[in-house]
Structure 1
Amino acid sequence: MDIQALIFFLAALPAVLLLYTLVRSRRIAGKLAPEGELKTAGGVRFHYHYRRRSSGSESRPVLVFIHGASGNALDQKIAFQGRFGEDHDLLFVDRPGLGHSSRKTPDHNDPIEQARSIGALLDALGISSCFVVGHSLGAAVTAALALERSDLVRGLAFVAAATHPWPGGVNWYYRVAALPVLGPVFCWTLTLPVGELLAPKSIAHVFAPEQMPPNYAAEIGLPLLFRPHSFRANAQDVANLKRNLSRQSERYGEIDQPALVVTGTDDSVVWPSIHSDGLMQDLVNARLLVLEGAGHMPHHTHSAQIAAEIRNMMAALVVGEDMRSASGPSGAQNGSVR
């Protein structure tokens, strides 16, 4: 190849990559259309899956599931929906900018802002009591929701949590994709073709040392992540997380709801010694579930055990609500459970 041909190739490459991204993004949107419900609340057009109960106690809180980085609501839906009977209400939410939920402001990279919008969605859906289950970065949003909406949140489960600032930074491509000018260029040219190429290896790393479920990437609609606007939103979440958590984690002592902290001994994505141990130090009403040999995705590899623990906590909450109701308006009764 002579020098002129090389120059022409290099000049044309960004246009080719842009065209590929446009065509592929449209195909992804057509193939992976929203399967849940849509509602605008808190400045976000939310996409969510809401399974209402067919029977059971009206005092039982709604189970709200908040997914982590690089995913969407289907990640927890395929892990947990079959683990709870028809007497539980289950709400699986695409966080702002991911899946099929919109993001209109850069402020939504902050877990506090995401929690406020999710709280507005719960209000719009008429949900007045909930138990929130958050995975990884979604655990930071779960903590934020407990802080911002203690009127709604009755209990919490933190699964492989990312909730505290940590030494070091994040992968370079998150920092680049989150930049003001270069970021959009990067997302509209490289992230879709390269991301889809590297996805199998990345997923294997997240599940390691355990095996990911068959057809996991297809079942969660992973290509949705690599669309430019979604990848950039995800990158902004990750790139700004440490700074946001430096402020947020100082308030964790305010969280007094019953909490379950779930961690795997072999999690190589987040450090349990920082996040899970940090939650156990900061939260006033938490207990720890350690899963031997589990990696960063225990909600898939140990879903039955985690769901059983959540069901037990839910049952205790319902008993507590019933006891407070029986005690009258003051709520004073010896032995009541919060």
Structure 2
Amino acid sequence: MIWVLLGFIVLVAGLVGWSAYVSRGIERMIPADGQRLEVACVDFHYLDLGPRDAPAIVMIHGILSNWRIFTYFLAPAMARDHRVVVIDRPGWGYSRLTGKRLDIAEQADAIAALIDRLGLERPLLVGHSMGGAVALALALAHPDKLRGLALIAPYTQPIERPPEPFKGYVVPGPLRAAVAWTIAIPIAMRTGKARTVEVFHPDPVPEDFAMRGGGALAIRPQGFQSGAYEMGMAKGAMERQAQRYGEIGMPVAILYAHGDALLDPELHGTDTASSIRGASIEIVEGGHMLPVTHPELTEAWLRRVLAG
């Protein structure tokens, strides 16, 4: 029994050391090259692009992601004539939590505080996937801070089961740290490519997405823990939030793709648009990752939203 216990300890120590080694390697390849500002128990990592006196846009990414899905194309394109702020959501990318983990409404409050600290005057809020849920929460709690919402493949309604690529993140709270620092990275290195293909389907995954799009950052232990937490809290948070969409009075535009393999465009797009007075929805060809796979189409849509 002693030798079995010693063997188990050595195995766990080896997995923890390997996880730390892989994480450091990823961080060397994809450094934290934005700005930092601590507000509302979050040490935010963000990037501020474009002319400071231009109309402002704030972009919020989804789950297992970071602001690089916007800097891949959309943010620099829009920064030609807008001030564009892209944010690593609390617990994602290089944004660090200085207190407890934040649910959707609490993330919205923290981003509202960041908007104030940056002196942004009623920006347009762009939210992709889970970032769309946070954008809607911000519109409900802080409507005076925004001019409107532009939501790309947003997560907007409670669902009974997580999307197939995310089922591995359904882990009980007490086990999340242990899984994150032992087996999460080996499993991600073995299955991550296939899961990424599922998320992008039917569009192909760009060859440079892991680095340029920041995809590799999600396999770090902190990414697994954030993903497991959000998978656990999302359904209850959305059950409370979705009932209130009729209260939103600002302009809301939604962009979805027919072929989205992660979220149902009818449920999260059409149904949500019908519950918000004056909301518009446009459904195009493609998959879930429109800012990366159809960047020119997404930019053109966003410019039409701004013009409207």
TM-score (norm 1): 0.84
Larger C-alpha radius of gyration, 1 or 2? 1
Question: How many Å separate the matches in 1 of 2:201 and 2:222?
Answer: 28
1:206 aligns with 2:199: yes
1:309 aligns with 2:304: no
Offset of residue 163 of structure 1: 0.9
Contact kept? 2:75, 2:86, Cα under 8 Å: no
Question: How do 1:1-338 residues align onto structure 2 when only pairs under 5 Å count?
Answer: 10=8, 12-53=10-51, 58=53, 61-84=55-78, 86-108=80-102, 110-169=103-162, 171-176=166-171, 179-292=172-285, 294-316=286-308
Offset of residue 131 of structure 1: 0.4
Offset of residue 234 of structure 1: 2.1
Question: How many Å separate the matches in 2 of 1:169 and 1:209?
Answer: 19
Of all paired residues, the percent bearing the same amino acid is 30
How many residues end up aligned between the 2 structures?
306
Offset of residue 155 of structure 1: 1.4
TM-score (norm 2): 0.92
Q: Which moved more, 1:91-100 or 1:214-223?
A: 214-223
Could you list the runs of 5+ residues in structure 2 that have no partner in the other structure?
none
Contact kept? 2:62, 2:132, Cα under 8 Å: yes
Offset of residue 256 of structure 1: 1.6
Q: Which moved more, 1:114-123 or 1:236-245?
A: 236-245
Question: How many Å separate the matches in 2 of 1:164 and 1:106?
Answer: 25
Could you list the runs of 5+ residues in structure 1 that have no partner in the other structure?
317-338
Computed over aligned residues only, the root mean square deviation of the Cα atoms, in angstroms, reads 2.1
Question: Which ranges of 4 or more aligned residues in structure 1 deviate by more than 6 Å?
Answer: 3-8
Question: How many Å separate the matches in 2 of 1:82 and 1:4?
Answer: 58
**Matching residue's letter, 1:97:** G
Structure 1 residues 94 and 84: alpha-carbon distance in aligned structure 2, compared to 1, 3 A threshold: same
Q: What are the Cα deviations for residues 218-243 of structure 1, in whole angstroms up to 9, with x where unaligned?
A: 11233322222232012211221111
Offset of residue 258 of structure 1: 1.2
Contact kept? 1:164, 1:278, Cα under 8 Å: no
Contact kept? 1:69, 1:238, Cα under 8 Å: no
